[in-house]
Structure 1
């Protein structure tokens, strides 16, 4: 690029005494650390500038720096867009005297200010920095509204169809991302990280419910990263539980145990995330046919429930792990372990869970979880030969699934169908009628995201 004159960048660094490369590099790296602390992400703190790039900026050979460099330059020179900074000096702008060698290589020795000029320049720099630090795109009202929207979503998630809700959560997540890309005080940044992490966690759960396990794991990894950035144990613990749950349903019980144990390292001050982790471990150990470990995990979950502190670090709703959910996780564990006693224990716990789920008002019922508890109850009754009792639960599940369909419930229905075909009573009228109802349900088109939708 042909140079037409000094750049504003060159003029300003000469005025500030930063025209030596090593001096500017030090200032640049200090600014990168401050920017990472104030606005994030932390990775910016390690940014530096090469000597060749420094001279290219000064000589007008670069007009559009990369994103990180642009943010750091605009942080160093508040109020001046990078494109203007690296362009020619605006007409009427007084440039400071320069060393004779500055025209080609920049001065080796900094321009000497008088003491008064140095003090004034330092004061002006501090004032500009304070003005930038004080400005924010996020205030208490913005955060309050975001938190209210998140509470509404996690509270209504268990009772609403997944597809339409997915789009709503995605839009709110995008809003949280936009806020994070702006400028706010550090305490607000942490709250935004938590909010964005919760929303990515909800999207991970929704992707899982839609049968998109790969997408669910990607969303969960992002949610965990936000939990790390915020230093929020409740979020980290909950996300590890979700990752373990995805592994369990994906037929990888050893991974589920590993992830659940990893989540146990992040102990929140209150809440049910740790109870959930132990319950997921119990199911995974059951799938691995390790009855001792499975029963120990169930016992640990019961012990944690007894010691549960009031309150929760997370917004509740779908992210909470109530007693009824713990009961049906226990019923699933006993079904894996098999045998007459485990079958009886599975039926008792699933029956209690269903009663508790049903006791909630219709608009607050956890439909997917209640259906899975009914599936456990149906499997236990099928195991002891009660076809009528099993059929009653399956018909209720099919009716609920017509309203709110999830992949995990569909998988359990498929498993029940295979077990029913092997049952001694498979030729009975109630069994034949039940199979016909299941086939009709399976032939319905599964609700999907519209073409072009992304998880």
Structure 2
């Protein structure tokens, strides 16, 4: 006949703590609550039992009574259960009861610990609720630091290699998730959802830059969900824009238009999110060869820029849509539409964008976006017969992209190389040299995470 399991095993199973890592987490939480409620503060750092000790407790193989700190924490976790009773064999009533702790069993007479124990158990439960309601894992300093880290990351992102930043952003996102799983006053919960949404958005953008579109879309969906939970229109509009951008680069212009329209349903608190959405839509219409819709969208974006109220875009940095970025989106739109007038417009917009990108201090230049603007300029110049002018832009892009690789720049360089091969000037020595440089560049290691990185 099988021996009766110890009451500890029964209660752990009833509470869903049978996995060691789950129990350890709950033990630490109880230690923190008890330290906050009764003290001393050092109780919060009391180490949980090791895995082998936990296994012995589960099987009733207890040779010595747990130390004082552990006894206090266990009593707090299982109020009303004497420590000796906790590791003794459970009765049939213990095992058949559907309760999650001894206090309710005692009320039904299933565990007779005495009226005093039941009263104290009820008092402890109320005290634990008060401690949880009063305590917080997030305070003003924590939020200030998290927001400062996010501002630093979104500011540095356009100017630094994607791989190393990815791992840092992932760690910061995990910290935001951990905060959300803890306890905080309601006023911090919304801020945490916005922070988590921004960080998921950065990870989506990074995944996109690494050529992992499926992972990018998953991250973007989570970012949008965080925006929904926070009720933050600016974040929701920005994420819809990112999703539209992914669809555009993935060759799904109809989806890009649909997602941009969906983002426009949210009225941001301030900033450039709607200008970005409309500019993305213009490029998608250009890809679809819907010239009227594309030009109308460009005019709408220009009007929005003129009417824009002063205000920051979320934390700024990569999440802002400055004038120069709008200009090169316009140049891409004109390139898609083709024809001498559109080529002239594309060259003018791209040239102006490159000049504005270059005017920024070197440490804050948007390298990927500046490279894309240069590729637009190179394509416009090539199609107008200026091979040497195109070559200057391409070589600059190859140098920058060797240091900060992104999938979108790689695609544009590849498109240029294929177009050049079919161009009337494709057999010229300058053209051959450009194509050889592009082939050598494309054969280098693609954009990737550092060893051990995952998405």
| Structures share fold, TM-score greater than 0.5 | yes
Cross-structure match for 2:201: 201
Cross-structure match for 1:435: 435
Asked if the contact 1:63/1:83 (under 8 Å) is kept, the reply is no
CA displacement at 1:85 relative to structure 2:
5.1
Asked if the contact 2:135/2:183 (under 8 Å) is kept, the reply is yes
Which of 57, 64, 75 is the matching residue for 2:16?
Answer: 64
1:291-311 C-alpha deviation (Å, 9 max, x unpaired):
111111111111111111111
Over aligned residue pairs, what C-alpha RMSD do you find? 3.5
Cross-structure match for 2:226: 226
Aligned length: 392
Matched, 1:386 2:378: no
Cross-structure match for 1:330: 330
Which of 73, 81, 96 is the matching residue for 1:89?
Answer: 81
CA displacement at 1:448 relative to structure 2:
2.2
In 2, Cα distance between the equivalents of 1:190 and 1:244?
25
Residues 122, 302 of structure 1: alpha-carbon distance in 2 compared, 3 angstrom cutoff: farther
CA displacement at 1:88 relative to structure 2:
8.0
In 2, Cα distance between the equivalents of 1:221 and 1:82?
41
Q: Following superposition of structure 1 onto structure 2, how do residues 123-142 of structure 1 map, counting pairs within 5 Å?
A: 128-142=128-142
Cross-structure match for 1:175: 175
1:64-119 C-alpha deviation (Å, 9 max, x unpaired):
2599x9999x99xx7698997569822599xxxxxxx99987999x88xxxxxxx9
Cross-structure match for 1:213: 213
- What TM-score comes out, normalization by structure 2 length? 0.77
In 2, Cα distance between the equivalents of 1:120 and 1:288?
72
Cross-structure match for 1:240: 240
Asked if the contact 2:75/2:83 (under 8 Å) is kept, the reply is no
Residues 408, 4 of structure 1: alpha-carbon distance in 2 compared, 3 angstrom cutoff: closer
CA displacement at 1:240 relative to structure 2:
0.6
In 1, Cα distance between the equivalents of 2:323 and 2:231?
27
CA displacement at 1:129 relative to structure 2:
3.2
Asked if the contact 2:79/2:124 (under 8 Å) is kept, the reply is no
- What TM-score comes out, normalization by structure 1 length? 0.77
1:16-73 C-alpha deviation (Å, 9 max, x unpaired):
xxxxxxxxxxxxxxxxxxxxxxxxxxxxxxxxxxxxxxxx97xx86252599x9999x
In 2, Cα distance between the equivalents of 1:167 and 1:102?
48
1:389-446 C-alpha deviation (Å, 9 max, x unpaired):
1111111111111111111111101110111111111111211121122122222222
Q: Following superposition of structure 1 onto structure 2, how do residues 39-58 of structure 1 map, counting pairs within 5 Å?
A: none
1:281-322 C-alpha deviation (Å, 9 max, x unpaired):
010111111111111111111111111111125000000000
Cross-structure match for 1:346: 346
Consecutive unaligned residues of structure 1, counting only runs of 5 or more, are 9-55, 94-100, 112-118
In 2, Cα distance between the equivalents of 1:280 and 1:240?
11
Asked if the contact 1:4/1:88 (under 8 Å) is kept, the reply is no
CA displacement at 1:254 relative to structure 2:
0.6
Residues 441, 128 of structure 1: alpha-carbon distance in 2 compared, 3 angstrom cutoff: closer
Cross-structure match for 1:115: none
CA displacement at 1:123 relative to structure 2:
8.8
Asked if the contact 2:406/2:447 (under 8 Å) is kept, the reply is no
Asked if the contact 2:313/2:319 (under 8 Å) is kept, the reply is no
Asked if the contact 2:79/2:121 (under 8 Å) is kept, the reply is no
In 1, Cα distance between the equivalents of 2:247 and 2:444?
27
Residues 385, 124 of structure 1: alpha-carbon distance in 2 compared, 3 angstrom cutoff: same
In 2, Cα distance between the equivalents of 1:104 and 1:281?
62
1:212-247 C-alpha deviation (Å, 9 max, x unpaired):
111111111111111111111111111110011000
SS of structure 2 residue aligned to 1:62: helix
